[in-house]
Amino acid sequence: MPSPAFDDVAEAYRTALTVRQLRQARGEQPRGFKIGFTNRQIWERYRVYAPIWGTVWDTTLIMTNGAGRIALQGTCEPRIEPELVFGLKRTPPPGADLQALFEALDWLAPGVEIVQSHRPGWRFASAAETVADGGLHARLLIGQPLPVTRLGADAATLQQALAHASLQLSKGGTPVEQGVGANVLDDPLQALLHFLNELRACPGAPDLQAGDVVTTGTWTDAWPVAPGEHWRVSYSDGLGALDVAFD
């Protein structure tokens, strides 16, 4: 049965934070966050016109050295999103700008988020429905981390490098779609700053902490996946690659 309709984003985040507390009470541990709908090119397709965020859990996070398996059992209409993930070494200061945020980062890595929808056919009436649906998060597979300074000595240099970086998403060896870092609110660091400001403006939401991971949004459309499939994401600019097999 579809989840109840939501049309108020503030109410949806209150619901999401209540669910977060319930999941913690049953023993799950938050490991960070996902940012969704940072790619403006897919807004019209899903009728969601602003970024959202949700929690990543120890039960949904998979760290790898470049290849991994994801079990799809228990997910609803799963899709794959190739992304860039940041790791935090400390909490950004109040009023952080891009440079202060850069200085709070430890590493970056290629990532694949598996998203899901309890709305049939991925049809949403509003962004609030996606927030209340756990931010559409199901799984997050993270590849080999690289020091942030490998791509840039400061925020401006990192922004430029990531905006111009590209990826190729392939299924079973066949190219599916290409994407660029500029698709996510102009660059992933800018997407992270937008999220930080939204997080801190949300009543009751936790702040970013040392050790948190944040995945910054898909560089392509979200593509349906099924057990038995093998997908690969190849990044430019030394960001590496990620191979994913689905069970």
pLDDT tens readout for residues 42-90: 998 888 889 999 999 999 999 999 999 999 999 999 999 999 999 999 9
Domain of 86 in residue numbering reads as: 9-246
The domain that holds 45 is classified in CATH as 3.90.850.10
Assess if residue 171 is contained within a domain. Answer: yes
Please tell me the distance from the alpha carbon of residue 35 to that of residue 192, in angstroms, as a whole number. Answer: 8
Condensed to tens digits (0 to 9), the pLDDT of residues 54-66 reads 999 999 999 999 9
**Burial status of residue 169 (CB atoms within 10 A of its CB: 0-12, 13-18, 19 or more):** buried
Residue 138 maps to a domain: yes
Q: Residue 4 falls within a domain, yes or no?
A: no
Flag whether 14 is in a domain: yes
Q: What is the pTM of this model?
A: 0.95
pLDDT band at 6 (very low <50, low <70, confident <90, very high): low
Residue 141 · residue 111 · CB < 8 Å: yes
